[in-house]
Structure 1
Amino acid sequence: MIFDNTWLDIAARGILLAAAAIIWIVILIRMNGLRSLSKMTNFDFVMTVALGSLVAGAAQSSDWKGFAQALAAMAGLFFIQFTAAIIRKSSDTAENVMQNQPVFLMRNGEFCENGLKATRVARSDLIAKLREANVLELSSVRAAVLETTGDVSILHGDRLEETLIENVKRV
């Protein structure tokens, strides 16, 4: 009998349910669009982590009710993300409430000590990011920014267009 408690049936159920959950996510991503699993905002990142947890829960479901509930929760997350994106786009107040502001960690070759302290980023971590960005001289760094997603953007070169840093917070 399929899906009794033998190790083979348990493994088959896990594989089948995991595959079904992944197919469901692909369908939801196709409906919701390319931004579904982006990491543009902290909200997007939380969505991605929550989806992973729900896939794991779906794959481990011992009954169809638990599996269906995990699939419904996934659809709910996509709906919430879609709604939040519309609200953020239409209201500056909502944008400010839902989204953190990027912070300068370096500006014009100088470390922003207040920014490093406020964001709890160690100078050594920032230096590692500078190396990753192939920075050869600190004086060439126009800006190092801790983005809302936790990524660090390094802007270096001869000049910097102000539009690229217009919403970055100076601490």
Structure 2
Amino acid sequence: MFFDSLQDLWRIAVIGVLTYALLVAVLRSSGERTLAKMNAFDFVVTVALGSTLATILLSRDVTLSEGLAALVLLVVLQFVATWLSVRSGKIRHLLKSAPTLLVRDGRMDEEMMRRQRVTANEVLQAVRSQGIGDLGLVAAVVLETDGTFSVITNQNAGEHTALSNVQGT
């Protein structure tokens, strides 16, 4: 129950070091976007990588070469999906959500907040975290695709805002 054999522990240690080193190398070579803040698609890939790594380490039925092939395949698929989403609006729409406008000109959009399951307190906290005490000073609050809030003040809004691809504009 607590210990089967020293050979099993050595196997886990050797495979773990080799797999970890390769995973780091593959992720580093795949580019900064792979390691950026995550949206839902990136989260799924990350969970799949973790699950695959655990399987490689703990399952005797999976050889090191099979496990490494699975890790490389997941990273390549993530790279291809990201590459395609940059070049195709349809693919981008399938894989990634669009940012959502929650506040415009100091007024909360209750419907958009409800759709995104965001409370007024969460929006106000995001505004306060930017050092703004009055919602009337806010041109926009955007729920970004990675779950963070962007707060744009009236002073910084300007004529050409970055709200062109935001849902609710």
TM-score by length of 2: 0.82
Query: 2:134 matched to which residue of 1?
Result: 137
Confirm or deny: 8 A CA contact 2:39 2:147 kept in the other structure.
Answer: no
Distance (Å, rounded) in 2 between the aligned partners of 1:36 and 1:46: 12
**Secondary structure at 1:155 match in 2:** strand
* Cα displacement string for residues 35-80 of structure 1 (whole angstroms, at most 9, x for unaligned residues): 2222364322322232222222222233552x43332221111111
Q: Identify the match of residue 167 of structure 1 among 151, 165, 168.
A: 165
Alignment of 1:74 with 2:71, yes or no, is yes
Alignment of 1:88 with 2:80, yes or no, is no
Query: 1:39 matched to which residue of 2?
Result: 37
Confirm or deny: 8 A CA contact 2:15 2:56 kept in the other structure.
Answer: yes
Q: How many residues align?
A: 166
1:147-166 alignment runs, 5 A limit? 147-161=144-158, 162-166=160-164
Task: Using the TM superposition, give the Cα deviation of residue 9 of structure 1 relative to its aligned residue in structure 2, in angstroms.
Answer: 4.9
Confirm or deny: 8 A CA contact 2:102 2:141 kept in the other structure.
Answer: yes
Distance (Å, rounded) in 2 between the aligned partners of 1:131 and 1:10: 53
Distance (Å, rounded) in 1 between the aligned partners of 2:19 and 2:140: 42
Distance (Å, rounded) in 2 between the aligned partners of 1:170 and 1:72: 42
Confirm or deny: 8 A CA contact 1:106 1:144 kept in the other structure.
Answer: yes
Opposite residue 44 of structure 2, the aligned amino acid is: V
Unaligned ranges ≥5, structure 1: none
Confirm or deny: 8 A CA contact 1:39 1:149 kept in the other structure.
Answer: yes
Opposite residue 67 of structure 2, the aligned amino acid is: A
Unaligned ranges ≥5, structure 2: none
Distance (Å, rounded) in 2 between the aligned partners of 1:137 and 1:46: 38
Distance (Å, rounded) in 1 between the aligned partners of 2:56 and 2:133: 48
Residues 63, 163 of structure 1: alpha-carbon distance in 2 compared, 3 angstrom cutoff: same
Residues 12, 18 of structure 1: alpha-carbon distance in 2 compared, 3 angstrom cutoff: same
Confirm or deny: 8 A CA contact 2:138 2:152 kept in the other structure.
Answer: yes
